[in-house]
Amino acid sequence: MRVLIIKMSALGDIIHALPVLDYLHRVSPGIEIDWVVEEQFQEILADNPLIARLHPVRTKVWRKQPLAKQTRHEIGQLRAALRERAYDLVFDIQGNLKSGLIDWLSGAENIIGFSSDVLQERVNLFFTTRQVPIRPTDHHVTDQYLRLVSIPFAKDFAGLALTTDIVTSPEDDGAADALLATLDDGLVLLFHYGTTWQTKFWTESGWIELGRAVLEKFPASSILFSWGNEEERQVVTRLAAAIGNGARVIERYSLKGLVALLKKVDLVVGGDTGPVHLAAAVGTPTVSFYRASDGRRSGPRGKGHGIVQAPRHCTKCFRTKCDDDQSCRESIRVAALLKEIERLLTATPAQSP
């Protein structure tokens, strides 16, 4: 059997979808799985032994230049590549217009997508041949993805201990080891300040207080600050300086380079953001906080992870902007995060650099 998964973005959602690979290979040994992904995220899926072929796309470029010769050429190449593979099944777990267009380009007869109550954009219904409703028990987004791909196989995923991994190169692993060799012998934590929505950030004072409390509780530990753009770099530089000895800003890594480092640190702390989900995917404990988003729906699961939800009546609002943003940020308490950090670090042996 040859199937196509359409999950192009965003980074966190792609990571949440990784367990479908293990599931499909378990229920259908010998299956070939291809994946359509946005070009900027293909590195996460590259070299995964459970994926037969990647189809990178550039939908943002195509939307800006829909009539350009290069756009028409790339779409034509994608159409040919998809139809050459002659998929038995297409799983559209993106659920919007752009994934619907990929459904159409594939030429497949059997395209499974979500029912209208799950879809981001209802227009997706016109491109799928079977629509899957989620169950009340499928609260986490990963379970929703697994529900969709499980339908043709009639094999429940609930009793399966599904695994995920992101393959890193020896060069990336070596660079991570080299960084860790420069640190003290204590625990290593990675703090990731940045995120996408305004309503997913935390206060700078909170990060500083948390960093100082962690270093006081766990002497000889190190806190590494990662960043994704120049604005974030400037902020985390201020944070590390305010925390003092034991905190430092690392260089910007490629996605695979960051994953290699995440595999080796003892704990990752952040909001609802890609590096937290990357860490969880490779088995590193995490502590994460949620304001506009729902930690129960999209946060890492299991005893190795801690989740703090904003204690407000309007939490889980899914708004990207808010006039009451500052007080919402301040509702995330240092004590709540520190409690989860202490629980995990006292229960999890330190990893050797």
Q: What does the pLDDT average to over 313-339?
A: 94
Is residue 203's pLDDT more than 50? yes
Asked if 155 and 166 touch (Cβ cutoff 8 Å), the reply is no
Identify whether residues 217 and 339 lie together within a single domain: yes
Cβ-proximal residues to 178 (8 Å cutoff; 6+ apart), any chain: none
Identify whether residues 45 and 137 lie together within a single domain: yes
Mean pLDDT of the chain: 95
Q: What does the pLDDT average to over 168-190?
A: 96
The pLDDT assigned to 159 comes to 84
Identify whether residues 191 and 260 lie together within a single domain: yes
Q: How far apart are the C-alpha atoms of 267 and 289, rounded to whole Å?
A: 14
Is residue 329's pLDDT more than 90? yes
The pLDDT assigned to 98 comes to 96
Q: What does the pLDDT average to over 125-144?
A: 95
The pLDDT assigned to 352 comes to 36
The pLDDT assigned to 106 comes to 98
The pLDDT assigned to 52 comes to 98
Identify whether residues 148 and 182 lie together within a single domain: no
Identify whether residues 148 and 253 lie together within a single domain: no
Identify whether residues 122 and 222 lie together within a single domain: no
Identify whether residues 66 and 98 lie together within a single domain: yes
Is residue 104's pLDDT more than 60? yes
Identify whether residues 8 and 141 lie together within a single domain: yes
Whether the model pTM is above 0.75: yes
The pLDDT assigned to 223 comes to 98
Is residue 129's pLDDT more than 70? yes
Is 160 part of a structural domain of the chain? no
Identify whether residues 129 and 218 lie together within a single domain: no
Structure tokens at 286: 């995490």
Burial readout 156-169 (b: 16 or more C-beta within 10 A, e: otherwise): ebeeeeeebbbebe
| Confidence band of 263 (pLDDT split at 50, 70, 90) | very high
Q: How far apart are the C-alpha atoms of 207 and 334, rounded to whole Å?
A: 8
Q: How far apart are the C-alpha atoms of 309 and 328, rounded to whole Å?
A: 11
The pLDDT assigned to 196 comes to 83
pLDDT > 90: what percent of the chain?
92
Is 217 part of a structural domain of the chain? yes
The pLDDT assigned to 94 comes to 97
The pLDDT assigned to 351 comes to 46
Is residue 271's pLDDT more than 60? yes
Furthest-apart CA atoms within the chain: distance in Å: 60
Identify whether residues 108 and 66 lie together within a single domain: yes
Is residue 347's pLDDT more than 80? no
Is 161 part of a structural domain of the chain? no
Domain enclosing residue 126, as ranges:
2-153
What are the start-end ranges of the E strands in the chain? 2-6, 32-38, 53-57, 89-92, 111-114, 130-132, 188-192, 222-226, 247-249, 267-270, 286-290, 305-309
Q: What does the pLDDT average to over 167-183?
A: 96
Last residue of a domain, one of 95, 121, 153: 153
Specify the CATH number for the domain of residue 292. Answer: 3.40.50.2000
Q: What does the pLDDT average to over 136-161?
A: 94
Q: How far apart are the C-alpha atoms of 207 and 213, rounded to whole Å?
A: 10
Task: Count up the domains in the chain and report the number.
Answer: 2
Is 28 part of a structural domain of the chain? yes
Q: What does the pLDDT average to over 174-199?
A: 94
Is 158 part of a structural domain of the chain? no
Is 57 part of a structural domain of the chain? yes
Identify whether residues 238 and 92 lie together within a single domain: no
Is 159 part of a structural domain of the chain? no
- Residue type at 307? I
Is residue 348's pLDDT more than 60? no
Q: How far apart are the C-alpha atoms of 321 and 18, rounded to whole Å?
A: 29
Identify whether residues 189 and 119 lie together within a single domain: no
Is 11 part of a structural domain of the chain? yes
The pLDDT assigned to 282 comes to 95
The pLDDT assigned to 353 comes to 35
Last residue of a domain, one of 153, 186, 205: 153
Give per-residue pLDDT as tens, 26-36. Answer: 999 999 999 99
Last residue of a domain, one of 153, 184, 215: 153
Q: What does the pLDDT average to over 265-286?
A: 96
Structure tokens at 261: 């480092």
Angle between helices 274-281 and 255-262 (to 10 degrees): 60
Is residue 181's pLDDT more than 70? yes
Give per-residue pLDDT as tens, 293-311. Answer: 999 999 999 999 999 999 9
